[in-house]
Amino acid sequence: MDFWPYLLLASLEGAVMAAVLALTALGLSLVFGVMRVVNVAHGEFFMLGAVLAWWFSSVSTQWFGISPALAFTVAFIMSPLVTAAVALVADRLVLKRLNYQPEATIVATIGILYIIQQLALTFYGPDARPVVAPFSYRVQLPWFGYSGYKLFVIAAAVFLLGLVWFLLSRTRAGLLMRATQQDYETAQAFGIPVSRVYAGVFAFGAMLAAMAAVLIVPIQQAHYLMGLDPLLLSFIVVIIGGLGSLRGTLIAALLIGMSDGIISVFFSPTLAKILATTLVAMVLVFRPQGLFGDRPQ
């Protein structure tokens, strides 16, 4: 094979990664934007989504004997909901009581990270387990056949991102979120239940991570330590895109996802990560508003 098939393959892999990353990072970005909370446990919500997806799909195929496609649908609905419920409990029991102070919440979410990780290890075990893809159709490209499911992941992610955009810009819930993000004191003075908005945003952010995870488990197996990579990559994306800027987050996810895919194929995955982490640190130091952020902070 010569250069072009490789590049096409790398771009496709990169696009799948960018799609999933955009969803995950959007969750982190919302939580940071609205609540000013750096959620270090975000990757564990991703992992929880994947592990629960395995559980729901295997329970529904074994006990109720339904088809893989239907089992995947059950997992895709149930797993994000349960993950959101866990996040809601964490918000009410811990973050709210800390009054969302930045430093205290970072330490607390590190604690939540360990708690979720250990519970996953205890109840799910150390094995990596796959979820059966809802369909196994191969798309024939000029040089090679490509998994139709991976193309479906890209489409599903784009659809979900559109849905989030609609929710934020065209509904009342989105309006409340944006008002709280701009100035929570004024929002409170206008009778917006800020505390409930915070709880909702935290749960919604976790839900987005879990959705991304359910989409990825048929490709990458569910494992209790799988949360670290999406966490770091989401940080990278959110920072390069500008903290709290949704448009920037999407552009950065595309940039990081594609370049990670391409560098990983042509050089090494470790080198891709080294470049990304260094870039993000440098961006924060020299351009804190992000590469695509508008207003300086």
Q: What is the dihedral of CA 258, 259, 262, 263, to 10 degrees?
A: -160
Q: Which residue is it, tokens 């209790």?
A: 224
Closer CB to another protein, residue 122 or residue 140?
122
Closer CB to another protein, residue 13 or residue 44?
44
Of the candidates 127, 39, 125, which has an alpha carbon nearest to the alpha carbon of residue 83? 39
The conformation of residue 136, written as its DSSP 8-state character, comes to -
- In sequence order, what E strands does the chain have? 138-140, 145-147
Closer CB to another protein, residue 38 or residue 88?
38
Closer CB to another protein, residue 85 or residue 107?
107
Indicate the angle between helix axes 172-182 and 194-216, nearest 10 degrees: 110
Residue 223 C-beta: closest distance to another protein, Å: 15
Residue 286 C-beta: closest distance to another protein, Å: 8
Residue 34 C-beta: closest distance to another protein, Å: 14
Residue ranges that bind another protein, judged by CB under 8 A: 36, 38, 94, 97-98, 102-104, 106-108, 110-119, 121-122, 228, 232, 235-236, 239, 268, 270-271, 273-274, 277-278, 280-282, 284-286, 288
Closer CB to another protein, residue 38 or residue 219?
38
Of the candidates 275, 239, 238, which has an alpha carbon nearest to the alpha carbon of residue 260? 275
Closer CB to another protein, residue 107 or residue 175?
107
220: left (phi over 0), alpha (psi -120 to 50) or beta: beta
SS3 139: strand
Containing 26, the helix (H) or strand (E) segment is helix 3-35
